[in-house]
Amino acid sequence: MEIPSDIGLSDKVAIVCGGGAEKDGIGNGRAASVLLAQAGAKVLVADKNLNAAQKTADMISEFGGCAEPSEVDVTNEKACKQLATHAMDTYGRIDILDNNVGIAHAGSVVEDDQERWDNLMKVNVTAMFLTSKHIIPEMKKTGGGSIVNISSISALRPRGLTAYSASKGAVIALTRAMAMDHAEDGIRVNCVAPGPVYTPMVYAGGMSEEARERRRVSSPLKLEGYGWDVGHAVVFLTSAWARFITGQVLVVDGGATLTSRPRAGIM
């Protein structure tokens, strides 16, 4: 049996949803876009903020990679259908879908309200349903592909972000169900669950150096995670090296889920 010696992404076509980021920041989607392009893929950077998507495409162009920005609201079904059509018209195929779009807010079910709950579920779960619904049929036309959905360790170890935790748990369940549904189509579906990575989504609202340090030391490795760490996981899962992997959750958290928060009165 021939063992793949190459990552196998040259000339593949990738759609990265949520591929933009604030200014020069490196979020999970931007990192994945850049790293996929470095590995040889043509990247369609989809984001609700066209300027942010353009910045990512420009970063890719700087090292000679191939990328194009696309303004897309992935919570809108018509827009998702147009995204799939645009990719096929431009590149003739779709091999990779990376679903990064997500929002978060704190609060228990008692503290939350239905409007915020519904909006979070629409952005974090429904958007993945809509992009997958319209991109999978196009993937099938050229023999299959790979999908990576971004979840969170909040699905595995809840800590006060109840709606977010519920949505990210749904992402894991959706991933596993999609992996079963589309295995016969040659489509692998996996999930990355990032831990406390330092991304624009985290620090956009302001974060003190003290809080940043607490996050760094919260994991056994005592390292600060970045969008690049999540991006590398996406590249691996979409590559030929992961050809026998589907329906799995790859936790990228420096070991944070191995620890538990101290409880009052318990050593």
Annotated active-site residue in 164, 198, 203, 226: 164
> How long a stretch of residues is the chain?
267
Its sign, for the CA torsion 84, 74, 188, 29, is positive
Token pair for residue 92? Answer: 């003739």
- Rounded Cα gap, residues 196 and 152, in angstroms: 9
| Residue 179: count of CB within 10 angstroms of its CB | 19
R_g of the chain, CA atoms, integer Å: 18
Query: Cα–Cα distances in Å, from 171 out to 93, 115, 153, 182, 194?
Result: 25, 20, 11, 16, 13
Instruction: Classify strands 96-99 and 66-71 as parallel, antiparallel or unpaired.
Output: unpaired
Please provide residue 14's backbone torsions phi and psi, each rounded to the nearest 5 degrees. -120, 135
CB 87 within 8 A of CB 94: yes
- In the residue annotation, 203 being an active-site residue is answered as no
| Residue 59: count of CB within 10 angstroms of its CB | 19
How is 55-100 classified by DSSP, letter by letter?
A: HHHHHHHHTT-EEEEEE--TTSHHHHHHHHHHHHHHHS---EEEE-
Catalytic residue numbers, as ranges: 164
